[in-house]
């Protein structure tokens, strides 16, 4: 779909016309990310992170495929082959550091993308499907990242695998058989390492497929924008190319600069030193922590310390951790306010910033040892997390008085520049 004023693809050279009649791939690209996709003209830099997430996925696939050429998925040699890549493969150190830090950067840009959607109400009708598919991508990313972290077969790889698959062991009755079935044994070993490698290679391509659905769903209603007011006419939009390709090009440059600083000058800053110790089933690390991007969820997992009658605390923690992500699938129906953008929602905005702070506090506690006072802090923070989405947001939607919305995107843009729109330029909806 597109807006009626979207430019149509017109092949100029005979070859492209010949191709267009038989396989309209250039037309498809033109309508997806070219001049044929009209985009609101008022997007701010927070709208760069979708393209940057796609870029991060490409970096991970390219560096990952190259590393797989030098990797041996066998518990006897895995650690050794990773060191071999680091020392003896041409630019192997670059591929590995880019891949390890690339995972972190993928999560950084995706978290910014998600929090942009939360602030500007991008999950609301008619864009629910984009939000749901985005969450599917997020879940797939988490599974992929977890399995990827196991592959170097260091201490954190091994014990992380043990802890995370142990979560399934918390399920009553069938939990332990499921855990054994998932691992292919009673503890992580060669069977687990092999299947994790196989799935770690597969899932990025599943992610790529869901990304295509995500973008397809985006092109039905078109992109949202910071005002949250829908596009009303041609004056509200600019073609994706060259306007947003240029803006994304600049955004990609900034992304690459930040990425290069980490990869070349602090490649181990985001990693854990214990993963440079080879996996040893007989020696448990003092503090088992996942990678930083899982810390908020890890904090929620560990926040449950008291049994609820017949439900053990461990199972509650597991349920809460999964619930903390699954509840986001219901967000479009929990926040019923017709106003999308946080700019025009004074009460929502205050709670939004509290949520952001809350997630950062959860993240900090998730990375800290499971000791007091961190457990108590994560209990309060996790309580707020659930209350925010499940109780507070629906109430705000019911009671908040939103600020007046601008009549159109163009009106908002011109108001910013101290001008007023000619009323005739805004056709009726």
Partner 1 sequence: MVRIGAFLVGLFFSGWLLVSFLFGAVAYVSDPPAPTAEKEFHLVPRHVAFSFDGPLGHYDKQQLQRGFQVFKEVCSACHSLKFVAFRDLEALGYNEAEVKAIAKGWAIKTPDVDPATGEASSRDPVPADHFPKPFANDVAARAANNNAVPPDLSLMAKARHHGPAYIYSLLTGFQDQPADLIAKFPDSKTPEGLHYNPYFANLNLAMAPPLTAEGQVTYAEGQPKPTVDQMSQDVAAFLTWAAEPKMETRKSAGFAVLLFLIIATGLAYMSYRNIWADEKH
Side-chain-facing half-sphere of 284: CA atoms under 13 Å: 5
Peptide bond into 258 cis (omega under 30): no
Closest to partner 1 by CB, 136 or 252: 252
CB of 263 to partner 1, least distance (A): 8
Q: How many residues would you count in the chain?
A: 429
223 is annotated as an active-site residue: yes
358 is annotated as an active-site residue: no
Phi, psi values for residue 237, rounded to 5°: -120, 160
272 is annotated as an active-site residue: no
2 is annotated as an active-site residue: no
Q: How far apart are CA 87 and CA 108, in angstroms?
A: 28
Query: Which residues of the chain form contacts with partner 1 (CB under 8 A)?
Result: 41-43, 80, 83, 86-87, 93-94, 97, 238, 242-243, 246-247, 249-250, 252-254, 256-257, 260-261, 263-265, 267-268, 273-274, 276-278, 286, 303-306, 308, 313, 316, 320, 323, 327, 330, 333-334, 336, 371-373, 375-376, 379-380, 382-384, 386-387, 389-391, 394, 413-414, 416-417
Q: Which of 75, 291, 358, 411 is catalytic?
A: 291
Q: Which of 53, 104, 157, 223 is catalytic?
A: 223
CB of 22 to partner 1, least distance (A): 33
What beta strand segments (E) does 208-296 contain? 237-239
Closest to partner 1 by CB, 127 or 335: 335
Peptide bond into 373 cis (omega under 30): yes
Start-to-end CA span in the chain (Å): 18
Q: Which of 75, 236, 248, 335 is catalytic?
A: 248
247 is annotated as an active-site residue: yes
Torsion-angle region of 222 (φ positive above 0: left; ψ -120 to 50: alpha; else: beta): left
Closest to partner 1 by CB, 39 or 211: 39
Q: Which residue has the tokens 């598919």?
A: 133
Q: Which of 128, 219, 230, 287 is catalytic?
A: 219
CB of 393 to partner 1, least distance (A): 9
Phi, psi values for residue 423, rounded to 5°: -55, -30
What burial class does residue 283 get, using C-beta atoms within 10 Å of its C-beta: 0-12 exposed, 13-18 middle, 19+ buried?
exposed
- Here the tokens at position 296 are 């908020």
CB of 321 to partner 1, least distance (A): 11
Closest to partner 1 by CB, 205 or 399: 399
CB of 21 to partner 1, least distance (A): 32
Q: Which of 124, 247, 272, 314 is catalytic?
A: 247
Active-site residue numbers? 219, 223, 247-248, 291
């Amino acid at each position: 779909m597109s807006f009626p004023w979207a430019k149509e693809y017109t092949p100029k050279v005979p070859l492209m016309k010949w191709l267009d009649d038989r396989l309209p791939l250039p037309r498809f690209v033109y309508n997806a990310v070219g001049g044929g996709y009209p985009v609101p003209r008022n997007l701010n830099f927070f709208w760069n992170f979708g393209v940057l997430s796609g870029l991060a996925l490409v970096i991970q696939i390219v560096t990952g495929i190259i590393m797989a050429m030098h990797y041996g998925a066998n518990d006897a040699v895995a650690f050794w082959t990773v060191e071999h890549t680091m020392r003896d493969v041409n630019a192997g150190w670059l591929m590995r550091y880019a891949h390890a830090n690339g995972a972190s950067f993928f999560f950084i840009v995706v978290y910014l993308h998600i929090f942009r959607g939360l602030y500007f109400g991008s999950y609301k009708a008619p864009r629910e499907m984009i939000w749901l598919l985005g969450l599917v991508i997020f879940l797939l990313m988490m599974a992929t990242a977890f399995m990827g972290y196991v592959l170097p077969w260091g201490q954190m790889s091994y014990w992380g695998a043990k802890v995370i698959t142990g979560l399934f062991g918390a399920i009553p009755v069938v939990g332990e058989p499921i855990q054994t079935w998932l691992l292919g044994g009673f503890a992580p070993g060669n069977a687990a390492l092999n299947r994790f490698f196989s799935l770690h290679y597969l899932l990025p391509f599943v992610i790529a497929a869901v990304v295509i659905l995500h973008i397809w769903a985006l092109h039905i209603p078109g992109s949202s924008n910071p005002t949250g007011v829908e596009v009303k006419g041609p004056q509200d939009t600019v073609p994706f190319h060259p306007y947003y390709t240029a803006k994304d090009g600049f955004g990609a440059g900034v992304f690459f600069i930040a990425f290069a600083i980490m990869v070349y000058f602090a490649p181990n800053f985001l990693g854990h030193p214990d993963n440079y110790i080879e996996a040893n089933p007989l020696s448990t690390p003092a503090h088992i922590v996942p990678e930083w991007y899982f810390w908020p969820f890890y904090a929620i997992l560990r926040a449950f310390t008291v049994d609820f009658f017949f439900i053990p605390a461990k199972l509650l923690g597991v349920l809460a951790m999964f619930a903390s992500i699954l509840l986001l699938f219901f967000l479009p129906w929990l926040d019923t306010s017709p106003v999308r953008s946080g700019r025009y929602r004074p009460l929502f905005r205050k709670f939004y910033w509290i949520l952001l702070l809350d997630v950062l506090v959860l993240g900090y506690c998730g990375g800290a040892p499971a000791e007091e006072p961190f457990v108590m802090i994560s209990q309060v923070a996790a309580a707020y997390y659930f209350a925010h989405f499940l109780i507070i947001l629906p109430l705000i939607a019911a009671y908040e008085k939103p600020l007046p919305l601008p009549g159109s995107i163009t009106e908002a843009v011109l108001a910013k520049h101290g001008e007023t729109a000619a009323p005739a330029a805004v056709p009726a909806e």
